[in-house]
Amino acid sequence: MKLKTPFETSFAKTVDRHCVLVEVEEEGGEIGWGEIPVDDNPYYHYETVETSLYIVKEFLAPKLLEVDFSKPADFLNAVSKVRGYMMAKAGLEMALWDLVAKIKNKPLYALLGGVRTKIVSGVSIGIIGNMNSLLKSVSKFLDEGYRRIKIKIKHGWDIEPVKIIRKVFGDIPLHVDANAAYTLENIDIFQELDKYHLLMVEQPLHYEDLAEHAELQLKIKTPICLDESIKGIYDAKAAIKLGSCRIINIKPARVGGIEESMAVHDYALKHGIPVWIGGMLETGIGRGFQVALATLPNIKYPNDISASNRYYEEDVVEPPWTLNNDGTITVPQKPGIGVEVLEEKIEKYSKRTLEIKVSSV
Ligand SMILES: [Mg+2]
């Protein structure tokens, strides 16, 4: 799907969004949808469109027969022999959750124990590289109602944009996301950013380096939020025990789906670490799972869950996700993810379809 405008981070620029959509159909004809929000390259994450198709077909789908469909939480266990490939696993697991919620005739968020019917949205602004365009963009998103502004930063585009946003827009909820672009040698940049009272600084250092994040957190006041580093519950435990972060951004697809997201959420709650839900330019399908998870009790910051029109001219779901005037998104009350998936639109954008039949006969 073509993005309305290219989205640039410290490591890549996305013009067209690729992903794998998963449709599971049970014998009775009920259908569930999931999404594997991979890219066509391994720059943000090692999984790609091609690896996902391979892993799903060869190793994950054949395990579906071992899963009790009334408990999609069991899926991750059933595929635990496969190491990694959490996004591929998440896509299948989410489709099972959507399917089960529909069979039970319940909205997904209710099945997960969600506690709110509206979730708060923030917006993420890529590296624009031009101060005037940045200010225009911030102003437009604030007008639309977004409750928090996050800007992507990289070397040469960090302190200045923050300084000018604070000068023009005052004390708005603001945070920065470095996508692992810095090292401990850049500590002066983060100490300088401390002056601007940011809500958090997201993933400043290398995505594998929990130790150095702990060291950095000791030397700066702004809470560190880990994103890429948290690939599942074990990373969350290590990061919290080491003091590597004070906030966690849970990306449901990155950690392996709904069950693992809930495990990270619950562990963080127990240890007084607030969380929020992030995204990876998902279509309206993946967004449905983000919205459901954002209803959980320990979600304490605005989520990176924007309206469909933030990224896409047209979405593949009906109704598209929209932002209320107060910067919230209403949680659908229909069964499953609560939006209708438009198969004709998916066909229009599809480059390839892979059909896998799993049968006990
Ligand atoms: Mg991030």
Q: What are the tens digits of pLDDT across the range 271-310?
A: 999 999 999 889 999 999 999 999 999 999 999 998 988 8
User: Percent of the chain having pLDDT more than 90?
Assistant: 83
Q: pLDDT at residue 316 above 80? A: yes
Residue 137 and residue 34 share a domain: no
Q: How many helices (H) and strands (E) does the chain have?
A: 13, 15
Residue 324 and residue 228 share a domain: yes
Strand 201-202 with 317-318, pairing:
unpaired
Residue 211 and residue 82 share a domain: no
Are 123 and 148 contacting, i.e. CB atoms less than 8 angstroms apart? yes
Residue 359 lies in a domain: no
Interval between CA 10 and ligand 1 midpoint (Å) = 10
Residue 157 and residue 47 share a domain: no
Query: Residue 263 is inside which H or E element, if any?
Result: helix 258-270
Interval between CA 202 and ligand 1 midpoint (Å) = 6
Residue 27 lies in a domain: yes
Residue 356 lies in a domain: no
Residue 329 and residue 208 share a domain: yes
Q: Is the previous residue joined to 332 through a cis bond, with omega within 30 degrees of 0?
A: no
Q: Which domain holds residue 294?
A: 111-337
Q: pLDDT at residue 182 above 90? A: yes
Residue 124 and residue 67 share a domain: no
- With a CB cutoff of 8 Å and minimum separation 6, the contacts of 261 are 250, 252, 255, 277, 293
Residue 14 and residue 115 share a domain: no
Q: What are the tens digits of pLDDT across the range 9-44?
A: 777 787 888 999 999 998 889 999 999 999 999 988
CATH number (domain holding residue 173): 3.20.20.120
Q: How many domains does the chain fold into?
A: 2
pTM of the model: 0.95
Residue 358 lies in a domain: no
Take residue 169 and report the two structure tokens written for it.
Answer: 């827009």
Residue 158 and residue 227 share a domain: yes
Are 313 and 307 contacting, i.e. CB atoms less than 8 angstroms apart? no
Q: What are the tens digits of pLDDT across the range 322-351?
A: 999 999 999 999 999 999 999 999 999 999
Backbone angles phi, psi at 74, to 5 degrees: -75, -15
Residue 128 and residue 98 share a domain: no
What's the mean pLDDT in 75-85?
Answer: 94
Interval between CA 300 and ligand 1 midpoint (Å) = 16
Interval between CA 151 and ligand 1 midpoint (Å) = 10
CATH number (domain holding residue 53): 3.30.390.10
Cross-strand pairs, 153: none
Give catalytic residues, as residue numbers: 152, 251
Take residue 290 and report the two structure tokens written for it.
Answer: 């983000």
Residue 228 and residue 121 share a domain: yes
Query: Residue 8 is inside which H or E element, if any?
Result: strand 2-8
Report the distance separating Cα 288 and Cα 146, nearest Å.
18
Report the distance separating Cα 62 and Cα 10, nearest Å.
38
Report the distance separating Cα 101 and Cα 103, nearest Å.
5
* Distance between start and end Cα atoms, the chain: 38
Q: What average pLDDT does the chain have?
A: 94
Residue 125 and residue 61 share a domain: no
Interval between CA 157 and ligand 1 midpoint (Å) = 16
Residue 261 and residue 149 share a domain: yes
Are 336 and 107 contacting, i.e. CB atoms less than 8 angstroms apart? yes
What's the mean pLDDT in 168-175?
Answer: 98
